Amino acid sequence: MNNSRRIRVAVAGLGNCASSLVEGIYFYRQHPETEAGLLFPILSGYSVRDIEVVVAFDISALRVGKLVKEAIYQAPNNFVRIPGVEVDSTARVFRGPTLDGNPEHLARFVHESSGTRTRSFRRRDRRPSQCPPPPGRRIR
């Protein structure tokens, strides 16, 4: 991984999809010769190996406070594991807001953390961040 060209990612919710993504990132880092399964191995000069999960947010009492490498394997996650992949992320999972609810059918399995919710992150000028425009285009 080229540290000067990292894509730093914050994950909101460490369910099956996000956990599979994290494990997939580490699979490709541990197997640099493999590009199987990647539609675009290099996109705008970046590789999947340039992605770094730097923080995660969740509501589950089983995940909040843990490292991402531990939290992705907590119940009720049941995604198919990639044999031999070692996730060594040092990113921590913080308590996020329950924005889309914890419906009754899911609340039987996901007990909400009693931890303090993390405050929203905003830039000092109070405007949401924007991605830079694609090369050759200007934002109006």
| Residue 118 resides in a domain | no
94: left (phi over 0), alpha (psi -120 to 50) or beta: beta
Residue 83 phi, psi dihedral angles, 5° rounding: -60, 135
In a domain? residue 19 = yes
**According to the model, what pLDDT value does residue 114 have?**
77
- Number of structural domains the chain divides into: 1
Residue found under tokens 């285009």: 137
Greater model confidence, 80 or 110: 80
For 96-112, the pLDDT digits (tens) are 888 777 777 777 777 77
Q: What CATH code is carried by the domain that includes residue 68?
A: 3.40.50.720
The pLDDT tens digits for 43-54 are 999 999 999 999
Q: Is residue 112 part of a domain?
A: no
**Residue range(s) defining the domain that contains residue 70:** 3-107
DSSP per-residue string spanning 5-65: G-EEEEEE--SHHHHHHHHHHHHHHH-TT--TT-S-SEETTEEGGGEEEEEEEE-BTTTTT
In a domain, 136, yes or no: no
pTM of the shown model:
0.76
In a domain, 121, yes or no: no
Give domain status of residue 9, yes or no. Answer: yes
Residue 7 belongs to some domain of the structure: yes
Least confident stretch, 25-34, 54-63, 100-109: 100-109
Residue 73 has pLDDT above 60, yes or no: yes
Tell whether 72 is covered by a domain. yes
